[in-house]
Structure 1
């Protein structure tokens, strides 16, 4: 299985990262979408991984396959022939670049995470050179979500959350791979915030250590 071109940089996250810029992230995400639709889904290595983790690629969707990002919108295009837990929207139009096919990458990132395939080389093979900026933040979120799901309920209910349809069930779950201490500590902090939320310990009731500090931008605006 060949997925060359991965590097070792750390992706910038969107969970609690004050430096995350949505307007900087979005073009990279669109680049990942185009690469996934135009190139990756037609690559034999990507198809092999998708078959193993049991998720259909867009060109395999019926009755409205999406074979590339330049495919014009189709009348009646929508979910596949069966009902799915995450209905797949049909292609939509972009006023700037003309018609293009829009496909969410989240289900694919989720499936790679829970099966232990969210490795750098695989993510690069699926989403291209911009994967770190485009889907790296989503990978971080989904890894944390997976940790939270495992802490919240038992194995069977966790698996159910990641089954997409009777035809696209998760064939196996693997414990989170390549975990670093910083990732665990970040998840622990966010989990504590969630537990406080369950007890309504938010806003003026939030524990002192969980209260948000004003950012530099807010402080500057307050001084103007």
Structure 2
């Protein structure tokens, strides 16, 4: 599996998770699929391990305390002690190699409830959140399962850069002494639509700082229907 540099995904201007078309109940099974793929396949894949080492973040099975070996919390990686790309126990059944994880009876399967946000944040901060990489980490369902989280975290990264100095932003993306982010890169593959959406959201944040809410909210006009309020206003 290679990680070619590819064009960034399209971004809607609506606030992630606030768009009326977003259905959390439709989203959750796709998110579970991404978690299962990440735990059962991606973390045992050689290129994923190499990139994780380069950006200095431990994969779940590498954690010194309470390692997570699979979504089924077994004592060995899925597939048994077969030899595959990346070392012992890394055999890749066809369904996993294809980028999908089986759902199990009734469309559901228990999985270990870990968070994927640290990995999404680290990929964004180091400039590796290309679609091919996101697919390699989270499987075929990554757009439906973690795409909204990815979009929101890209916006958060823009907000962090606008709010604080480089040193404080780096500290915010460190994860303890063992998993400090080795470098920061400006947000990659940014579209004008994404910038306008972030600018509008930033305007709403500045308005809240001034208690311009409810009946005192600024009139909605300008870019995409939202007045852009800048710091000097």
TM-score, scaled to structure 1 = 0.77
Q: 1:17 to 1:97 in 2, by over 3 A?
A: closer
Q: How big is the shift at 1:104?
A: 0.5
Q: CA deviation at 1:34?
A: 0.1
Q: Is 1:128 matched up with 2:139?
A: yes
Give the gaps of 5 or more residues in structure 1. 74-95, 214-224
> Which ranges in structure 2 are unaligned for 5 or more consecutive residues?
76-106, 226-233
Aligned equivalents of 1:7, 1:178: Cα separation in 2: 6
Work out which of the residue numbers 60, 65, 68 in structure 2 matches 1:66. Answer: 68
Contact preservation (8 Å) 1:71, 1:99: no
What are the Cα deviations for residues 82-104 of structure 1, in whole angstroms up to 9, with x where unaligned? xxxxxxxxxxxxxx967531210
Q: Tell me, in whole angstroms, the C-alpha distance in 1 between the residues paired with 2:34 and 2:110.
A: 17
Corresponding residue for 1:2?
2
- C-alpha RMSD of matched pairs (Å): 2.4
What is residue 167 of structure 2 aligned with on the other side? 156
Q: Deviations over 1:168-200 (max 9, x none)?
A: 000000000000000000000000000000000
Q: 1:127 to 1:9 in 2, by over 3 A?
A: same
Q: Deviations over 1:7-55 (max 9, x none)?
A: 9864777254221111111110000000000000000000011001100
2:16 is aligned to: 14
Q: How far did 1:160 drift?
A: 0.6
Residues 147-178 of structure 1 show CA distances to partners (whole Å, capped at 9, x for unaligned) of 00000011000001000101100000000000
Distance 1:170 1:207 in 2: 38
Aligned match of 1:108: 119
- Please tell me whether the aligned partners of residues 11 and 133 of structure 1 are also in contact (alpha carbons under 8 angstroms): no
Report the 3-state secondary structure (helix = DSSP H, G, I; strand = E; otherwise coil) of the residue aligned with 2:199.
Answer: helix
Deviations for 1:42-88, whole angstroms, at most 9, x for unmatched residues? 00000011001100000001221111001169xxxxxxxxxxxxxxx
Using the alignment, how far apart are the partners of 2:125 and 2:108 within structure 1?
34
- Work out which of the residue numbers 22, 47, 50 in structure 2 matches 1:45: 47
Does residue 172 (structure 1) correspond to residue 195 (structure 2)? The answer is no
